[in-house]
Amino acid sequence: MTLTDWTISETLARLRSREISAVELTQAYLDRISAVEPKVNAFLTVTGEQALQQAKAADSLRAQGEDRPLLGVPLGIKDVLCTEGVSTTAGSKILKGFVPPFTATSVQRLFGAGAVMLGKMNTDEFAMGSSTENSGYHVTHNPWDLKRIPGGSSGGSAAAVAARMVAGALGTDTGGSVRQPAAMCGIVGIKPSYGRVSRYGLIAFASSLDQVGAMARSVEDAALILEVMAGHDPLDSTSMNVPVPNYRAGMRSDLKGVRVGVPKEYFIEGIEAEVEASVRAAIEHLKALGAEIREVSLPHTAYGIPIYYLIAPAEASANLARFEGVRYGARIEGADMWESYKTTRGRGFGPEVKRRIMLGTYALSAGYYDAYYLKAQKGRTLIRQDFEKAFAEVDVIATPTTPRAAFLIGEKVDDPLQMYLEDVFTITVNLAGICGISLPCGKDVNQMPIGLQLLGPAFGEEKILHAAHAYEQSTDWHKRAPSL
């Protein structure tokens, strides 16, 4: 076992015992990146020099007797989160060369806890996608099979964690973009409740849906990252001022007294046979750990895709209006202001971003607002109420994370509808504002990872983390690694 094979918890134990230094650890990760990154393409920017400086500072603090939750731990940051002095592109050519003058609150809290930033991770452009094929720069490959996608939009973060190029990473989740790539890369990914983690410094896609999440190789590691970055932030008006529990303290190895709901609407026609079999086996495993299994109903689940693809593009069309080549980012000169504006956006945005801007603008246009956007918001309320009723009866809901495991690069890139359907089990969580976690529970016929999704009520992260930890510690799926 090499230094980069350790979980964050194992790494911290060795750092605290002075078995290794943060500089040695960081250099080991940089060496791993040099060896593996050409195959995987998970990074947009590698910040090697800065990482070694942060590692040296971490060693100095530890020598002075100071300890912090993530002191000396090397992490990756999805490139939709602003980092002062480091390029932040959101995976888009329209932001090529943009260097923010400030750091996102979630990232700043990691730095305050002593984390080392190894670099910025590849993403679908403006986090719009399910495969990381929509990046304006390059396609990321799944470490388990380099011919397959890693999921999206946090595909770079997920692939880097799975490939042992980072100890953990931040992703963002608007409709499943943390949980779906976590499932496809065989790692853990948690999407916190809306308002649990500050969105300040996150380049917005859909402001009422976006949430910063944690990705790691174990549930305990994901919980630690979440503990550090969660909490109220006065710079974000949607940030909730509610206490952040010690998530790890609430983890137990049994599930006695825990009620687990299984929604019939999530086992649908078209789901891959191995996915259904693995998830149902995982639910039986939860039962063996002491959980009480109950069937629940989420009747408006089928409307999730059309509701999401009206609300999210509508918000995107408003948010992306700011990228006009005047204030920051790329600028292509034209004969006048309007020509410059149109040319910059026309060449700077990729096809998927343009598609969503047009969908959203149409849904918000005069004469269509009530018929589409307003009706979608009413449907969103019904979805939230479905979950509220279900959580009155159960503590946690168990579902597949995705309908199938990772598919081949290029297989669905020309069929947007099929690509959108990859998020059928994840988007309702964002619409309802609740929390969800994905963790590995099996393999399909191609030996690609399969994810179990556990959902909890708003600000019920401790419930899903407890259930996920109990399952994880009694299986070995999380210990398996791709061979690169």
- Residues involved in catalysis: 78, 153, 177
User: Which spans in 41-134 are helix H?
Assistant: 48-63, 105-112
Give the C-alpha separation, 443 to 389, whole Å: 33
* Cβ atoms < 10 Å from Cβ of 433: 20
Residues 6 or more apart whose CB falls under 8 angstroms from that of 483 comprise none
Q: Token pair of 131, please? A: 């495969």
Is 214 strand, coil or helix?
Answer: strand
User: Which spans in 302-372 are helix H?
Assistant: 304-319, 337-348, 351-364
Q: Find tokens 């002491």 and name the residue.
A: 290
Q: Token pair of 29, please? A: 């990760």
* CB of 205 closer than 8 Å to CB of 124: no
Cα-Cα-Cα-Cα dihedral sign, residues 131, 133, 137, 143: positive
- Axis-axis angle for helices 219-229, 461-473 (nearest 10): 160
Give the C-alpha separation, 114 to 171, whole Å: 19
In DSSP terms, which residues pair with 213 in a beta bridge? Answer: 171
Give the C-alpha separation, 9 to 165, whole Å: 16
* CB of 149 closer than 8 Å to CB of 55: no
Give the C-alpha separation, 176 to 374, whole Å: 23
